[in-house]
Amino acid sequence: MSENRATGFDVFYLGLRDRNAVYDQGAGNELVHTFGARIFGDTGSSYWNLEAAVQQGTFANHRRAAWGIGGEIGHRFPQAPLQPDLRLAADVISGDDDLDDPELGTLNPLFPRGKYFVSQSPIGPRNLIHVRPSITIHPHKDVELSLSGSAYWRQSTDDGIYAISGALVRSGRDSDARFIGTQAEIAVAWQATPELNLAASVGVFDPGMFIQETGPAQVIKLIGVMANYRF
């Protein structure tokens, strides 16, 4: 098996205490125990990464119980023109199913990276159903050009939506709508040198019924540039 091919299985535990946790249900001291497993593989042409986790603990001196599943599968076409790479990613992340019940059901993703779904997203991984197909092509051996489309729904209509940071963006108390919105993005990355990577992205988020029923609902336009230098 070549170095760029791998297959494996991971199990993990992550613990966190947050004395100032904030959810749609309220604020309080939070203790989180996360137990999870991941299966991943790469044959050179096909690849997959599937993960599931459950959470136990306490929030504001009451029980918390949450869960999440997600992953991605993809296939490369190295012999085709532009070497396209087709990928499908999806997540189902639990939200709280009763804001008046002191038990919390919202998954805490702990410390998600900023580019959790796409390069830029106003939606974070809590109380969410997410589907994202994408295609990446290589117009040059050091350049990648990607096009992706994402759709977002609330997993529970009794919970709100959150930012990548975990901040509550919209409460779920004023709408029963599940659909949050869609997002499209074009991104380009150039490996200028072995150490320097330059990237840029342009995206647009179109609000769905839940956003429209709970406050301002303008289309969000996102532009980003980034440079990474590895020593």
Contact between 55 and 107 (Cβ < 8 Å): yes
Flag whether pLDDT at 116 surpasses 80.
Answer: no
Reduce the DSSP state of residue 157 to 3 states and report it. coil
Please tell me the predicted confidence (pLDDT) of residue 3: 46
Q: Which residues pair with 225 in a beta bridge?
A: 200
**206-228 pLDDT per residue, tens:** 999 999 999 999 999 999 999 99
- The radius of gyration of the chain's CA atoms, rounded to the nearest angstrom, is 19
Prediction pTM value: 0.91
Q: CA dihedral in degrees (156, 125, 206, 221; nearest 10)? A: 160
- The span from the CA of 206 to the CA of 203, in Å, is 10
Q: What is the pLDDT of residues 30-54, one digit of tens each?
A: 999 999 999 999 999 999 999 999 9
